Structure 1
Amino acid sequence: MTFAETQRSRSEDSRISPVFWVLIATLGASALAVWSGFGNARLGVFLFVVSGWVVSLCLHEYAHARTAMHGGDITVGAKGYLTLNPLKYANPLFSFVMPVIMVIIGGFGLPGGAVLIERHRIQGRLKHSLISAAGPLVNVVFAAALLIPVGAGWLDSSSPDGYTDGVHSPVQPITAAFALLGLFQVSAALLNLLPVPGLDGYGIVEPWLSLKTRRAVAPFAQYGMLALFVVLWQSDAVNRWFFGVVHDIMGLFGVDAFDARLGDYLFRFWQS
């Protein structure tokens, strides 16, 4: 293979997928529709939140892959991980489908499965930790980008009458949509940073553990996310405590919990 062919191959490995552009177009169009009051507000909020959530999942996995590539795993490009195409993930079911379902029925941002990194190609514990931390950092940045405009009141001017889909409220649909998607980003970052086997939080600390400890924990990694979901779903006390923390963090940006609750009401357009 010539140098030109190699460069072209690498360029194709990093070319943004049309699937991702469709997601971006859906996100932008739904945001504009909700902001301008065009069409059904609840359906618009649903499309905005779901497409925004999937975009964040793509960027989350991309951050893992890009950091891994700079750390020494040059195979991530050939696997399609740099194209931002969710269909290229190692396990689309857990990286893409399940997190979307959890957002719809569970009301929180459950982190997805990571891309497949060839860890033996990467030298140094710090690099391994950074690869695991890159994904949650995307959720943190995404959350800030959503919550800062809400807290600053930059979105409030689009609503004239104080009513949102028949509900008396000074909060605009676009404000509620931003707040809800921001809540999902905060919850995903918090959950994913927990040192639970199988999640990025454990991946951050794992390189610093003894080999004996890592081997003992390894069999449980595949059950970590499932166990986390069961605890949040079944325990009202844990659920209330967790979302209390999420709302406290949102409060630091000046975002009221009511904004996200209204967003959740609009999001579930199939419920009266």
Structure 2
Amino acid sequence: MTDYADLIQKIAIYALPVLFAITVHEAAHAYAAKRYGDNTAFMLGRMTLNPLKHIDPIGTVLLPMLSLALGGFLFGWAKPVPVNFSALRNPKRDMRYVALAGPLANLLMAIVWALMYKLALYTDGYFTDPLMLMASGGVAINVTLMVLNLIPIPPLDGGRILVSLLPPRQAYTVSRIEPYGMWILIALLFTGALSVIMRPFQALLYSFLNLFI
């Protein structure tokens, strides 16, 4: 019964930050794509803050709930925003800006949640502890999503940024990894290597966010 109550509490704390994190991340990709010439996501209604447009039943709901229940690494994904890179005004250059928009949105949200945590420290009431827990969860989720997405493996944002920066021949070689990228990521997750890779960058981000608390 206690474990069940703990799971319900975790879901209550993390549900809102997760929805905000994935929604703003994907909407930022859509906005950047439109800004640089591709209207695909806009025409499909994906340039929106409506979370229902971005939720993937497995990646956004099932996997994060299993992660919380098992007490492991919070893992999941949203429905990727469709981008027609050839429609961008300068495809190779603008690809990196579209890819970078999502992680930057997560950084902005992490700062907002850090400020919310600071606000909670100065409140004294019934909502103080829940707000602190939710703000702390919001920081953790957005830090994790930012660092995870910046890993230079296609189709992650970091992989697309890497492809945009490399010379054509090397960029083509890296882009061919994309069909296997998710399997590589899952393998890193289950071997524990993913946490080892991410931990130093997460620590660096937490140090930066401490400036806002």
- Scaled to the shorter chain, the TM-score interval is 0.7 to 0.9
Deviates more, 1:219-228 or 1:51-60: 219-228
Aligned equivalents of 2:82, 2:107: Cα separation in 1: 22
Q: Deviations over 1:109-142 (max 9, x none)?
A: 5554531101111122332211000001111011
Measured at CA, do residues 102 and 60 of structure 1 come closer, stay the same or move farther in structure 2, by a change above 3 Å? farther
Match of 1:119 among 71, 85, 109: 85
2:17–2:137 contact (8 Å) kept in structure 1:
no
2:152 maps to: 195
Long gaps (5+) in structure 1: 1-39, 161-170, 256-272
1:211 maps to: 168
RMSD over equivalenced CA pairs, Å: 3.2
Match of 2:112 among 127, 145, 152: 145
Long gaps (5+) in structure 2: none
**Is residue 107 of structure 1 aligned with residue 63 of structure 2?**
no
Match of 1:92 among 51, 56, 66: 56
1:246 maps to: 202
1:60–1:136 contact (8 Å) kept in structure 2:
yes
1:111–1:191 contact (8 Å) kept in structure 2:
no
Measured at CA, do residues 224 and 159 of structure 1 come closer, stay the same or move farther in structure 2, by a change above 3 Å? farther
Aligned equivalents of 2:7, 2:124: Cα separation in 1: 16
Measured at CA, do residues 74 and 43 of structure 1 come closer, stay the same or move farther in structure 2, by a change above 3 Å? same
Identity %: 22
Deviates more, 1:219-228 or 1:238-247: 238-247
1:225 maps to: 182
2:163–2:175 contact (8 Å) kept in structure 1:
no
Aligned equivalents of 1:115, 1:94: Cα separation in 2: 16
CA shift, 1:183, in A, is: 0.8
Aligned equivalents of 2:23, 2:191: Cα separation in 1: 29
CA shift, 1:67, in A, is: 0.8
Amino acid at match of 1:115: V
CA shift, 1:84, in A, is: 3.1
Measured at CA, do residues 232 and 95 of structure 1 come closer, stay the same or move farther in structure 2, by a change above 3 Å? closer
Name the SS of the counterpart of 1:134 in structure 2: helix
**Is residue 66 of structure 1 aligned with residue 23 of structure 2?**
no
- CA radius of gyration, larger in: 1
Deviates more, 1:75-84 or 1:136-145: 75-84
Deviates more, 1:100-109 or 1:110-119: 100-109
Aligned equivalents of 2:158, 2:196: Cα separation in 1: 22
Name the SS of the counterpart of 1:81 in structure 2: coil
Amino acid at match of 2:139: G
Measured at CA, do residues 93 and 173 of structure 1 come closer, stay the same or move farther in structure 2, by a change above 3 Å? closer
Measured at CA, do residues 219 and 212 of structure 1 come closer, stay the same or move farther in structure 2, by a change above 3 Å? same
Amino acid at match of 2:73: G
2:116–2:131 contact (8 Å) kept in structure 1:
no
Name the SS of the counterpart of 1:83 in structure 2: coil
